Amino acid sequence: MTCPQCKHENIAGSLFCDVCGADLEAAPAGGDPEIGSVLTCATCGHQNDADFVVCEACGQPLDDAEPASPIPAPTPAPPAADDQPPEMPPRPLLDENQPPPPVPSSSTPAGQVPGQLASGPRRGKVKLVVEQGLVLGKQFLLSDDRMLVGREDAEGQIFPQIDLTGLDEGYVHRQHAELTFEGTFLFVTHLGGHNRTYVNNRPIADQLPHPLNIGDTVRFGKVVLRVVEV
């Protein structure tokens, strides 16, 4: 049924309009009512047929009632904020006095910022400091490209650069390990023997160079030393 007030199409058999609540019984079947075919009671607001003399709801005379004017259709609400497309952030203004960001080159190592210098242990700029052993605090400057770690044996003509004689009770082999520099990289290699070489409390494999970084601990037998910058 078409509402005589707001022209809303209601389900057939409805008594009141779903939008404005107007009385639908006064609406003529088969078409839209003409403006002025409904009288609104000035006392209770009930919509009466234009031929009624008194209000069918409250019984008050309808002499002063004026024909109801059609109610304009409701204005659709604007879409919710969630339905709005996200706004793109403004592009930053470029400062002409600022140099452009560096462009990565194919020669830049993975994970390294372009222009950043590689850093690491350098020969003559790093040392080993005893943290566990019979002589705490003893230091060994790593100044050669290749250094033997072990115990001195004059008879066997073994004179290691990192001589740990007297730092433990014989757990260090005479030729226990080797320290080598390759650029800014420092490696330790276990040369064999039952008493292992450990880096950060983990044993390393025989004859396989293992990298050492600043702050790492390395253990030969029972002597623990830390890699420290000079």
List strands edge to edge, sheet with 202-203.
139-141, 126-132, 223-229, 217-220, 197-199, 202-203
The rounded mean pLDDT for the chain is: 78
Confidence label for 75 from pLDDT (cuts 50, 70 and 90) = low
DSSP secondary structure string for all residues of 162-216 = EE-TTSSSS-S-TT-EEEEEETTEEEEEE---SS-EEETTEE--BT--EEE-TT-
Above pLDDT 70, what percent of the chain? 69
Segments making up each domain of the chain, as ranges: 1-73, 126-229
Dihedral, 19, 25, 28, 29 alpha carbons, nearest 10: 90
d(C-alpha 64, C-alpha 57), whole Å: 16
- What is the Cβ-side half-sphere exposure of residue 56, based on CA atoms within 13 angstroms? 11
Strands (DSSP E) contained in 55-122 are none
Q: Is the pLDDT of residue 105 over 80?
A: no
Question: In this predicted model, what pLDDT tens digit does every residue of 199-219 receive, in sequence order?
Answer: 999 999 999 999 999 999 999
Q: Are 140 and 149 in contact (CB under 8 A)?
A: no
- Return the pLDDT at 33: 39
d(CA 157, CA 54): 133
* CA 9 to centroid of chain Cα atoms: 52
143 pLDDT more than 70: yes
> Under a CB-based contact definition with an 8 Å cutoff, are residues 134 and 168 in contact?
yes
Asked if pLDDT for residue 2 goes beyond 90, the answer is no
pLDDT at 3 over 90: no
Architecture of domain 126-229: Sandwich (2.60)
Look up tokens 């970084």; give the residue. 213
CB 5 within 8 A of CB 68: yes
